[in-house]
Amino acid sequence: MKIIRIPVLSDNYVFVLFDENKKIAAVVDPAVAEPVLECLRELNAELIAIFNTHHHWDHVGGNKALLKHFPKLCVYGGIEDKNRIPGQQVFLQEGDTVKFGDRVGQVFFVPGHTRGHIAYYFPPSDETEPGELFCGDTIFAGGCGRLFEGTPSQMVNSLSKLRALPDNTRIWCAHEYTLKNLQFALTVDRENTTLEARYKEIREARSKGIATVPSILGIEKQTNPFLRWDKSSLQAVTKMKEPARVFGRLRGMKDQF
Q: Which residues are catalytic?
A: 54, 56, 58-59, 113, 137, 175
DSSP output for 154-169:
HHHHHHHHHHTS-TT-
Among left, alpha and beta (phi > 0; psi -120 to 50; other), residue 232 is alpha
Helices (H), the chain: 34-43, 57-60, 63-69, 152-163, 178-188, 193-207, 217-223, 232-238, 243-255
Please tell me whether residue 200 adopts helix, strand or coil conformation: helix
Give CA–CA dist 15/59, Å, rounded.
11
- 66-80 burial, b at 16+ Cβ within 10 Å, e below that, comes to bbeebeebbbbbbbb
Give CA–CA dist 236/135, Å, rounded.
29
